[in-house]
Chain A
């Protein structure tokens, strides 16, 4: 059942592939604004790279949520899905599809941003180190949590009258922990110190969210169609 639902979500996304690419463009554009706004110096960009990439990823995930929930809610298919399968299955299939279509591409395109933000910059004479894999790992562990938490906020606001900003206001405070640990993985790597603890905590938060949030999202989806 889960696979059927997932296939349906992915097929819908494929038929609407331009809309699926928009979050990706958004991610790249937001990050590339910072050199204009702050300073194009490599040393400086390297320092803010972790935070900028992470915040941009958060916003890209938040803004892409609409695609997977709004349409189904408006044309009534969400109601049919909830009759057909358990709310947890519906929630999980939507989150998985959302991550595969938005989260994973964000991770895959992040090396480009690492280059733009001079993440691997080394001053003259210093040994150049490659921090890009660490950044990808932190995003790989962080983006699923973003999708899981965002799903709660999106489903809660489905039946509400105003929602674009509402989801952000509700969910962004809940993103604080992963933002802290996610960007501190990269900062720790830049400072040449250990980052295993942060990686472990990111993974723990992901598992925690994976267990609890599908149930909550399912509940919220049922409230939305009630």
Chain B
């Protein structure tokens, strides 16, 4: 137990250091890319060719293999953002604010893809590309929350203020998501009995490729977060000596400053 807490403590400490993360993450990226491409190759083959055609929806069911993973990640990203915001507010870790900032555009992009593929899927199956259904509406509101976060964060000239203010907004939004979802669902059942998101048993031949695609998108998501986080570190730590050495700027500027 003692060794566990020691390891956990060290890990926490290391993750809080931009330098440690910047230097280590380069080594993670190739492995992540390999597993991501392998998962996508297998998952795309399985879902686009090897999996059966739906008896009602035909080939359009294959949109699901993009739609569902992006929907999952759009919410996971927001949750991660809110967790980073809490950690940043409580322990004042600068890395967690950087991660929060890095997550926002990725989450927004996944939300947008989810909405886009959802409407593409809606045309052949429901006959409409938009319906004010509970899930769709809350996904749309989620996109607005992301945009509000990005707008707020980018309208400060002072970075510490931007981080703190945006963190508060992320936390408020996270508390609101269940309320928004609940209210939208309730409102919808008031108006129409027709439900488009009825849960039925899903065939294992479709479930397996779906899980593979979810895993592939998860890895892609992690890669994107690491890349953006590295950019964020480069942006914010531009004056740090270790970073200047890392990108090969160190010698001249140091010589200039010292000489």
Give the interface of A toward B (CB within 8 A). 152-153, 156-157, 159-163, 166, 169-174, 176-177, 180-181, 184, 188, 201, 205, 212, 216, 219-220, 223-224, 226
Contact indicator per residue, chain B 134-178, by CB within 8 Å of chain A (1) or not (0) = 000100010011011101100111101100110011011101100
B156 contacts which of A159, A169, A174, A201 (Cβ < 8 Å)?
Answer: A159
B179 within 8 A of A: yes
Contact call B161/A166, Cβ cutoff below 8 A: no
Name the segment of B13-21, B68-76, B182-190 touching the other chain. B182-190
Contact call A173/B179, Cβ cutoff below 8 A: no
Which residues in B have their C-beta under 8 angstroms from that of A201? 183, 186
Give the interface of B toward A (CB within 8 A). 137, 141, 144-145, 147-149, 151-152, 155-158, 160-161, 164-165, 168-169, 171-173, 175-176, 179-180, 182-184, 186-187, 190
Number of A-B contacts (CB under 8 A): 87
Contact call B168/A169, Cβ cutoff below 8 A: no
Which residues in B have their C-beta under 8 angstroms from that of A224? 161, 165
22 examples of A-B residue contacts, CB within 8 angstroms: A152-B168, A152-B169, A157-B155, A159-B156, A160-B165, A161-B156, A166-B155, A169-B147, A169-B148, A170-B151, A173-B148, A173-B173, A174-B172, A174-B173, A174-B176, A177-B176, A180-B183, A220-B165, A223-B164, A224-B161, A226-B161, A226-B164
Which residues in A have their C-beta under 8 angstroms from that of B183? 176-177, 180-181, 201
The verdict on A180 contacting B187 (CB below 8 Å), with A156-B169, A174-B173, A223-B164 known, is yes
Name the 7 nearest CB pairs between A and B, nearest first.
Answer: A177-B183, A170-B148, A173-B144, A160-B155, A180-B187, A223-B164, A156-B165
Which residues in B have their C-beta under 8 angstroms from that of A156? 152, 165, 168-169
Which residues in A have their C-beta under 8 angstroms from that of B172? 152, 174, 216
Which residues in B have their C-beta under 8 angstroms from that of A220? 165, 168
CA distance A12 to B182 in the complex (A): 40
Which residues in A have their C-beta under 8 angstroms from that of B171? 216
Contact call A159/B158, Cβ cutoff below 8 A: yes
A interface SS class: helix
CA distance A226 to B156 in the complex (A): 13
CA distance A53 to B185 in the complex (A): 23
Contact call B187/A184, Cβ cutoff below 8 A: yes
Given A170-B149, A180-B184, 18 more A-B residue pairs with CB atoms under 8 Å apart are A156-B169, A157-B155, A160-B156, A162-B155, A170-B148, A170-B151, A171-B148, A174-B173, A176-B180, A177-B182, A177-B183, A184-B187, A188-B190, A201-B183, A212-B175, A216-B172, A224-B161, A226-B164
Contact call B165/A173, Cβ cutoff below 8 A: no
By CB atoms of chain B within 10 A, which of A152, A177, A212 has the most? A177
Q: Which residue of A lies closest to B180 (CB)?
A: A176
Which residues in A have their C-beta under 8 angstroms from that of B149? 170
